[in-house]
A and B are shown apart, each in its own frame.
Chain A
C-alpha cells in the first residue's frame, strides 16, 4: 500500500514537473491570486464586523432647497430621529436680497440643526463666486462643523461635457476658495472629496490634502464598493489624511437594491474603522438617489440604532 502511494506520489511529482504542466499551474494560481486580491478585503470587512465599538458618524446630504420652508424643520427632526449625526448641504443663497426665500430656507435649516444638535457640512461647488461664499460664511459660517472646498475636482469643473479641469486650474481654484474660507477664521474642519478618478490624477489629492483636515471619497456603484477598500487605503497612503466617505448612494428605482447597497456599504466602512459615512441623498427630485419615504430610510435608521455610536 505504501509502495503504491509512493509510486502515485512520484508519478504526480513527475507529472507536474513537466514544463507545460508547471506553466499551466503557475498561470492558474496567478489568476487565483488576482481574484483573491480584488475580492478578499471587501469580503472580509463586509462580514467581519470589526471595530464594533469604534465611533462611526452616519450623515446624509439634505437638498433642503427642494423642500418648502415649512417642511424643513420637520425633515431635520426626522433625520435626527433616524439617528443621523451630520447633515451635508450645498451652498445656496442670494447675497443680493437678505430676505430672499432661499435665505429664509437656510435660516430655517440652521435653526433646526442647532435645536437638534446636528453638525453641518457645507459643500462649496467648484465654480462658486467669492461674493456668494463670503456672504454665506458671514451669515451662517458659525453653524458649520465641516466645509468642503470643491467637489470631485479631479473629475471636472461642472457636469458639462468637456469641462475637465487642468491641474493648474484645480490648484488655483482651490487656493482661491481656500483663502476665502480661511479669511473667515471658522472653527470648521476643511476637506475635499474625490471620486475614484483620483487614481489617475493622484497629484490632485496629494497637493490639495496639504491644507485639509481630512479627505473624502465618493462611492456610487457596486463595483466601486467592492474595490473601495483598495481606493481608501491608497487615498490614505498618498495623502496621510483620514478618509471619510463623503458621498455614498445609488440612484436606482429598485428600492431593495438601494437598501441592500447602503447597508452593505455601512457595514464595510464601519468594519474598516473609518470615522464616518455620509449618504447621498435624503431627497432628490432629479434622480433616484433619495432615500426619503423609501425602504432604505427605515433600513438605514435601524442600522444606525444597532451600529453607530
Chain B
C-alpha cells in the first residue's frame, strides 16, 4: 500500500469511530444530564475527556503498528487520544459555527473530505519503533 492509502485508511477508521462516539454521546446527553445531578454530568465529562481519548489513542497506535509494522508508541494513549478528540471536535465546531450545519452534515464532510487530513495528523501525532523493544 502507498503512504496516502495507509493515511486514508487510518483517518477513515478513526473518523468513523469518533463520529459514532459523538452520536452516542449526543443521544445519551439528556439521560446522563438528568441522572442524579451533577453526578450524571460528571460521568459525561469523564466519558468524553477520559474514556474516549484512551480508546481513540489505543486504537490509533494499534492502527499505526498494524499498517507500518512498528511496535510500541511515542505518545501516551490518553494524550494522543485527547489530541485526536480535540482536533476532531475543533474542526467540527468551526464547520458547524461558520457554515451553520448540524453534526450529521459535518460528519459527512469529515468522512468524505477530511479522512486523509485526519489520517495524516493521527499518523503525525504518534508513532512506533522499527527495532524490537521490550
A: residues with CB less than 8 A from B are 17, 19, 22-23, 26-27, 29-30, 33-34, 36-37, 40-41, 44-45, 50, 167, 199-204, 206-207, 229, 237-238, 273
- Per the bound structure, the CA–CA distance linking A121 and B93 in Å amounts to 34
Residue of A nearest to B76 (CB): A23
With a CB–CB cut-off of 8 A, which chain A residues contact B97? 40-41, 44-45, 229
Interface of A is mostly: helix
Residue of A nearest to B73 (CB): A19
Residue of A nearest to B74 (CB): A19
A23 touches B74 (CB 8 A): yes
A22 touches B41 (CB 8 A): no
A30 touches B34 (CB 8 A): no
Shortest beta-carbon distance, A163 to chain B, in Å? 18
**Extra A-B contacts (18), CB below 8 Å, given A26-B75, A207-B34:** A17-B74, A22-B75, A22-B124, A22-B127, A23-B75, A26-B79, A26-B80, A29-B87, A30-B79, A36-B94, A37-B86, A40-B94, A41-B97, A50-B100, A199-B41, A203-B37, A204-B37, A238-B30
- Per the bound structure, the CA–CA distance linking A16 and B41 in Å amounts to 38
Q: Residue B108 at the A interface, CB < 8 A? A: no
Q: List 10 A-B contacts (CB under 8 A).
A: A26-B125, A33-B83, A33-B87, A36-B93, A37-B86, A200-B37, A203-B40, A237-B26, A238-B30, A238-B33
B41 touches A200 (CB 8 A): yes
- Per the bound structure, the CA–CA distance linking A108 and B124 in Å amounts to 70
A202 touches B127 (CB 8 A): no
B30 touches A206 (CB 8 A): yes
Known contacts being A200-B38, A202-B37, is A27 close to B79, with CB within 8 Å? yes
Residue of B nearest to A33 (CB): B86
B16-57 interface bits toward A, Cβ cutoff 8 Å, 1 = contact, 0 = none: 000000000010011001100110110000000000000000
With a CB–CB cut-off of 8 A, which chain A residues contact B33? 202-203, 206, 238
Nearest first, the 9 A-B pairs at minimum CB distance are A202-B33, A33-B86, A203-B34, A19-B74, A200-B38, A33-B90, A26-B83, A203-B37, A201-B37
A41 touches B93 (CB 8 A): yes
Interface residues of B, count at CB 8 A: 29
Known contacts being A22-B127, A202-B37, A207-B34, is A37 close to B79, with CB within 8 Å? no
With a CB–CB cut-off of 8 A, which chain B residues contact A34? 86
B56-88 interface bits toward A, Cβ cutoff 8 Å, 1 = contact, 0 = none: 000000000000000000111001101100110
A238 touches B29 (CB 8 A): yes
B83 touches A30 (CB 8 A): yes
Shortest beta-carbon distance, A244 to chain B, in Å? 19
Interface of B is mostly: helix
Interface-central residue, B90, B100, B125, by most chain A CB under 10 Å: B90
B38 touches A201 (CB 8 A): yes
With a CB–CB cut-off of 8 A, which chain A residues contact B94? 36, 40
B83 touches A29 (CB 8 A): yes
- Per the bound structure, the CA–CA distance linking A30 and B125 in Å amounts to 11
Shortest beta-carbon distance, A155 to chain B, in Å? 14
- Per the bound structure, the CA–CA distance linking A155 and B34 in Å amounts to 16
Q: Residue B126 at the A interface, CB < 8 A? A: yes
A206 touches B90 (CB 8 A): no
Residue of B nearest to A199 (CB): B41
Interface-central residue, A30, A44, A206, by most chain B CB under 10 Å: A30
With a CB–CB cut-off of 8 A, which chain A residues contact B75? 19, 22-23, 26
Residue of A nearest to B90 (CB): A33
B85-116 interface bits toward A, Cβ cutoff 8 Å, 1 = contact, 0 = none: 01101100110011010000000000000000
Shortest beta-carbon distance, B114 to chain A, in Å? 15
With a CB–CB cut-off of 8 A, which chain A residues contact B30? 206, 237-238
- Per the bound structure, the CA–CA distance linking A33 and B80 in Å amounts to 14
- Per the bound structure, the CA–CA distance linking A44 and B97 in Å amounts to 8
Residue of B nearest to A273 (CB): B100
With a CB–CB cut-off of 8 A, which chain A residues contact B34? 202-203, 206-207
